[in-house]
Amino acid sequence: MDYDITISGGGIAGLTAAAAFAQAGFSTLVVDPAPPVTDRDADGSDLRSTAFLQPAQGFLADIGLWARLADHATPLQTMRIVDAGGPEPEPRVTKDFDSGDISDKPFGWNLPNWLLRREMAAQLGDLAGVDFRPGTATTALFTREGEARVSLSDGSRVTTRLVIAADGRNSPMRQAAGIGVRTTRFGQKALAFAVTHPIPHNNVSTEIHRTGGPFTLVPLPDHDGMPSSAVVWMDDGPKSTQRMRLTEDAFEAEMSERACHVLGPLKLASRRTIWPIIAQEAEHLTGQRLALVAEAAHVVPPIGAQGLNMSLKDMATLRDLAVASPVSLGDAAMLDAYARARHADIRARVAGISALNRISQMSSQPLRDMRAKGLDALYAMAPVRRSLMKLGLGAGD
């Protein structure tokens, strides 16, 4: 057997999985067709950011990654929800969900994706038992009861006890295993970029609802001496595509208005990138000697920092099962246990986040008024408010 575990996909999810299993003592191969882009201004760098919620941060600490990431992380102390769905783009309902109501820690910590890839790839270089091959893709999968054989784009073939598909929403390993997906398309695209602004964010993540989808400002470290935030701007696909073509001055004027000037005039601090918004679930989480994780298993709209945090639950569950019974790594009983442990949570969160996204898309004024009243009512009920915050962190799963 060449490796205990072969991970298809070297994005944030795949690199995290590699660190987790190598730290647990399993020989691990991780491959990805593209080398990680680890410079903010390089072509192809991922300008989105990831908010690691409390349970995810705990997992990263457990596998030795957090010590490398902590100095780069911006704490998210408060989640601010703004409804700006009136006739004019201005706040009419603003509610702050403070993590101090339920914990002595922040809700989470935000880091740029390009930096995560840089630090995670460096961490793998310090770990024994990891073979990281950027620029190499998985091309075929053959499984039998006792092992899997994975063909690679460099012409080699490896044998392994478990294949982890962390290779994205169009996962080659999922397709090779013949596992289908259920996909919901919302007709939206998200613009992702970084901005600077004159008003400090004070570690507040702000989600502004108007129509078409939320405009979210997530705190980042200062950039060029100015407060900075990562932005995800969701809207109908044609509108987002049109905004990609705007001049920088026109784009800054439009995004500042859409942000209701809550942090003052916004200035672009990066190039713009655009992403389609879908929800997706794999029909099965496992195949013979194969486990699906992250976007190979589930995709959700970027609301409430749920996407990668769901993914880290996948990995923590797999890691715990592997550590509890190393001799069972990759066998049918272990994979069945993984599917049972993750199925209900994934199904509930994909459905819940999809519903929230539909609400955020509301365009008719009466429905937008209902959304504002609903936010007011939920916030007014303190026990409900605290329960929602705990649910968002994954408490009770």
Distance CA 349, CA 253 (A): 35
* Nearest alpha carbon to residue 231 among 203, 262, 259: 259
How close are the terminal C-alpha atoms of the chain, in Å?
35
**H-helix or E-strand spanning residue 340:** helix 332-360
Distance CA 248, CA 164 (A): 41
Distance CA 296, CA 168 (A): 5
The residues, any chain, with a CB within 8 Å of residue 83's CB and separated by 6 or more, are: 91, 92, 93, 94, 209, 368, 371, 372, 375
The amino acid occupying position 299 is V
Count CB atoms within 10 A of the CB of residue 131.
16
The residues, any chain, with a CB within 8 Å of residue 67's CB and separated by 6 or more, are: 61
Distance CA 125, CA 130 (A): 8
Instruction: Tell me the pLDDT of the chain (397 aa) as tens digits.
Output: 899 999 999 999 999 999 999 999 999 999 999 887 778 777 777 777 888 988 889 999 999 999 999 999 999 988 888 888 777 788 888 888 888 777 788 888 999 888 999 999 999 988 989 999 999 999 999 999 999 999 999 999 999 999 999 999 999 999 999 999 999 999 999 999 999 999 999 999 998 988 888 899 999 989 999 999 999 999 999 999 999 999 999 999 999 999 999 999 999 999 899 999 999 999 999 999 999 999 999 999 887 777 788 999 999 999 999 999 999 999 999 999 999 999 999 998 898 888 878 877 766 666 666 655 665 555 555 565 555 555 555 554 4
Contacts for 366-371: CB closer than 8 Å, 24+ residues apart: 368/83, 368/85, 368/86, 368/210, 368/211, 369/85, 371/83, 371/85, 371/209
Domains of the chain by start residue, with CATH: 3-39+115-183+279-358 (3.50.50.60), 71-110+187-276+362-393 (3.30.9.10)
Q: Which two tokens stand for residue 232?
A: 């995800």
Q: Are 172 and 150 in contact (CB under 8 A)?
A: no
Strand order in the sheet with 108-112: 49-53, 108-112, 74-76
Threshold 0.95, pTM exceeds: no
What are the b/e assignments for 195-211, b being 16+ CB within 10 Å?
bbbeeebebbbbbbbbb
- Exposed/middle/buried for residue 245 (C-beta within 10 Å: 0-12, 13-18, 19+): exposed
